[in-house]
Amino acid sequence: MIPRITNIQEYKSSYEQSLHDPDDFWASIAEGFHWKKKWHRIHSGGFEKGDYKWFEGAKLNISENCLDVHLKSSGDKMAILWEPNNPDDAPRSYTYRELHTEVCKFANVLKQTGISKGDVVCIYLPMIPELVIAMLACARIGAIHSIVFGGFSSASLSGRIQDAACRLLVTADGFYRGDKPVLLKEMADVALRETPSIKNVIICNHASLDIEVIAGRDLFWDQLMMHAETSHTAEVMDAEDPLFILYTSGSTGKPKGVLHTTAGYMVYAGFTFLNVFQFKKNDVFWCTADIGWITGHSYVVYGPLLNGATTILYEGIPSYPDWSRWWKIISKYKVNIFYTAPTAIRSFIAKGNDHLNGADFSSLKVLGSVGEPINEEAWEWYHHFIGEARCPIVDTWWQTETGGILISPLAGITATKPSFATLPLPGIDPVIVDTNGTILNDIVTEGNLCIRRSWPGQARTIYKDHERFMATYFTTYPGMYFTGDGCKRDSDGYFRITGRVDDVIKVSGHRIGTAEVENAINEHPMVVESAVVPVPHDIKGEAIIAFVICVKSVSDHQLLAEEIISTVSRLVGPIAKPERIIVVTGLPKTRSGKIMRRILRKIAEGHTEQIGDISTLLNPEVVDEIKWKTLAEGK
């Protein structure tokens, strides 16, 4: 049994213990999981070299912890309830026993296809049960999964496959987003022109879409599974064996392959799921995130299954066939714990409240929020209309790199306050620093958020680029993990995350790097240089504005903007599309040639009075032109 914190005194004493006696604390949590061999050391290493390790010497398999261990007591309990995009299509469900069988079968299929421990398998699937089966089967044989969100483009897929030299791709013919088909296999085929490491593609026939089949390379899920053995002995994994790679955007360069390892991630995902949501044995849990993001990895799949929960997998979007769909799913499956993003809540608010008519929220006990700061209006609406003023809201702050939630209320235990992620979980030692790295010890303060010590779920490296890992997270403030987020703390010691302080933009909760978007924009033949910045957006939280310099004067601005937007969509994915394109003749630069995005950001936000001194710029004269064009152009 994973230990549960049941009241605020226990939270306080666990927190104290976790900082004073971290080894004992984490050992007591880890005891709640199933090990083939226990660790000889709880924790070693540190932030200086980024060589921290957890539960060294332990042997385990995470898929056994998600499946096999529940078979005896709850084999017939529902593990996955799958709701299709189209409400007229048949839903599917898997008990723990059925899911176990499917995972064993697919583990055998992977083996037959030549995949073994340490190989990287890329998974590019819609939100269908096969996605969960494929990831757990990878974990079962010790292959590393690298899941690419189905909304990413061919170019993004191929970049991720190349970076990790994936051996196999698991994909589908396609899927429907509302009534729009998404041709996954077609996009995969384009990506695979540049990925010699891929030997085979396994295709799920999901949406009955026509696809091209490449003989010798393409294999079919159903055919392979038909003949697969139903039993499989899980590979014995070391605690620090890699479990998965998940690409995420940073301030600079290409997306980073964040690597998580087996035991630490498992302990952290399992522990946080139970305690943050105060999950009870028969609760039905629904996290609306796509599994292609970390939230889906940790809280659609691993966290719930480690706890023997019933987890809902919904294929579609909130607005199909209409905006009442999510509420119908909550009533239909009697969801007890519901976890979503502020951007979704704001979309519902913007639609008026008619979609709530007839909804039955009586099953709900706990609500969660993740991915971006939740504004007070969204918090209050969520609290009153979905939570019927009785369900606690857990505003959970964390990141791809943290593996699980770091700062959050414990549902029903920690007193909540709109827009505050409140207090750190046990084992988490957050500090707020100024730009020089000095720790700000006053309770009420504001600065950049760092974490002072390692926790089990922390990412271990950037795949094959430890130097970049160190440079990104551990050099800005030596001795600390730098989160990239700004933060305030109030007189209760509550943390309020204010958003990214680096060049990462959160569009509808999706993490997008300025460099990725700029590189895509620069591919347009008319563009010489570009700079993108976020602007506040009522629904998306942040939207992207692009300033571009063109080779010659632009006659048809509208056409150029459309072309640039479609270039970004093609090269990165539709989620990264800029909202506005502003053509300028220069970008503000420092004397060393660095673009001053801060100035562009202030202009884009309409806070021109906050621009400050521009006399040190290489080209201060461009600022007026940019201000003027931002006001005038393309609104």
**Site residues for ligand WTA per CB under 6 A:** 248, 293-295, 369-373, 395-400, 421, 483-485, 497, 499-500, 506, 511
Look up residue 233 and give its two tokens.
Answer: 């002995």
Query: In whole angstroms, what is the distance from residue 277 CA to residue 631 CA?
Result: 45
Taking the complex as a whole, how short is the minimal distance between the CB of residue 294 and ligand WTA, in angstroms?
Answer: 5
Indicate the residue among 159 and 371 with the shorter CB distance to ligand WTA.
371
* Cα distance between residue 269 and residue 455, in whole Å: 11
Nearest residue to the partner ligand WTA, using Cβ: 400
Return the number of the residue (364 or 406) whose C-beta is nearest ligand WTA. Answer: 406
In terms of Cα–Cα distance, which of 494, 305, 482, 516 is closest to 401?
A: 482
CB under 8 Å to 576, separation ≥6 — which residues? 507, 512, 516, 517, 520, 544, 568, 569
**What is d(CA 25, CA 3) in angstroms, rounded to the nearest whole number?**
10
Q: Residue 41 Cβ, how far from ligand WTA at the closest point, in Å?
A: 29
Least distance between ligand WTA and beta carbon 472 (Å): 12
* Nearest-approach distance from CB 299 to ligand WTA, in angstroms: 9
User: Smaller CB distance to ligand WTA: residue 52 or 299?
Assistant: 299
Peptide bond into 430 cis (omega under 30): no
Please report, as a single letter, which amino acid is at residue 325. Answer: R
3-state secondary structure 198-257: CCEEEEECCCCCCCCCCCCCEEEHHHHHHCCCCCCCCCCEECCCEEEEEEECCCCCCCEE
| CB of 104 vs ligand WTA, minimal distance in Å | 31
Q: Which is nearer to ligand WTA, 14 or 396 (CB)?
A: 396
| H or E element in which residue 367 lies | strand 366-370
What is the helix (H) or strand (E) element at residue 158, kind and residue range? helix 154-164
Q: Which is nearer to ligand WTA, 308 or 541 (CB)?
A: 541
For residue 313, the cross-strand partners are 82
**403/426 with CB nearer ligand WTA:** 403
485 versus 503: smaller Cβ distance to ligand WTA: 485
Residue showing tokens 């301030």: 251
* In the complex, least distance from residue 109 CB atom to ligand WTA, rounded to whole angstroms: 31
Collapsed DSSP state (helix, strand, coil) of residue 630? helix
Of 401 and 429, CB closest to ligand WTA: 401
Q: Which is nearer to ligand WTA, 129 or 573 (CB)?
A: 573
Q: Angle 273-278-280 (CA atoms, 0-180°, nearest 5)? A: 100
Q: What is the DSSP letter of 38?
A: -
The counts of H helices and E strands in the chain are 20, 30
**Residue 494: alpha-carbon gap to chain centroid:** 24
Least Å distance, CB 122 to ligand WTA, is 19
Question: Nearest approach, Cβ of 421 to ligand WTA (angstroms)?
Answer: 5
125 touches 314 (CB < 8 A): no
Smallest distance from the beta carbon of 276 to ligand WTA, in angstroms? 11
Nearer to ligand WTA, 70 or 383 (CB): 383
Minimum gap (Å) between residue 124 Cβ and ligand WTA: 18
CB of 377 closer than 8 Å to CB of 344: no
